[in-house]
């Protein structure tokens, strides 16, 4: 199993594979093309991007960039106040 395949399978098993894209764009790679990858995990805020002439390396860079960000902030639930609380 390749490193990319293992990484993607691990992300999917953990519920973290929510968005992944890879597109060729103009750049300094072979035939003037590089690959731009973008990845967004479920439990972290934001996304990671990577650019490389090799599409596998672009994906790995995007996943690594996203994993370097902090955890998504957790919003605390508002306390429930009933009418009895107000009348007491």
Q: Where are the domains of the chain?
A: 3-69
Per-residue pLDDT of the chain (88 residues; tens, 9 = 90+): 789 999 999 999 999 989 999 999 998 888 999 999 999 998 877 789 999 999 999 999 999 998 766 555 566 777 777 777 676 5
- The predicted pLDDT at position 69 comes to 60
This prediction's pTM? 0.72
The answer to whether domain 3-69 has CATH 3.30.160.20 is yes
- The predicted pLDDT at position 30 comes to 87
- The predicted pLDDT at position 71 comes to 57
- The predicted pLDDT at position 47 comes to 87
Distance CA 52, CA 50 (A): 7
Q: Give the dihedral sign, CA 82/75/18/25.
A: positive
The pair of three-digit structure tokens given for residue 75, joined into one six-digit string: 């919003």
- The predicted pLDDT at position 44 comes to 75
| Complete DSSP assignment for 1-36 | --HHHHHHHHHHHTT---EEEEEEEESSSGGGEEEE
Residues recorded for the chain: 88
């Amino acid at each position: 199993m390749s490193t990319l395949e293992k990484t993607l399978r691990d992300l999917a098993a953990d519920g973290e594979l929510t968005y992944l894209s890879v597109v060729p764009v103009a750049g300094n790679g072979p035939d003037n093309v590089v690959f731009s990858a973008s990845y967004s995990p479920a439990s972290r805020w934001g996304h990671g991007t990577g650019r490389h002439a090799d599409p596998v390396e672009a994906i790995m860079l995007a996943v690594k960039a996203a994993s370097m960000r902090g955890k998504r902030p957790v919003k605390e639930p508002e306390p429930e106040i009933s009418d009895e609380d107000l009348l007491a």
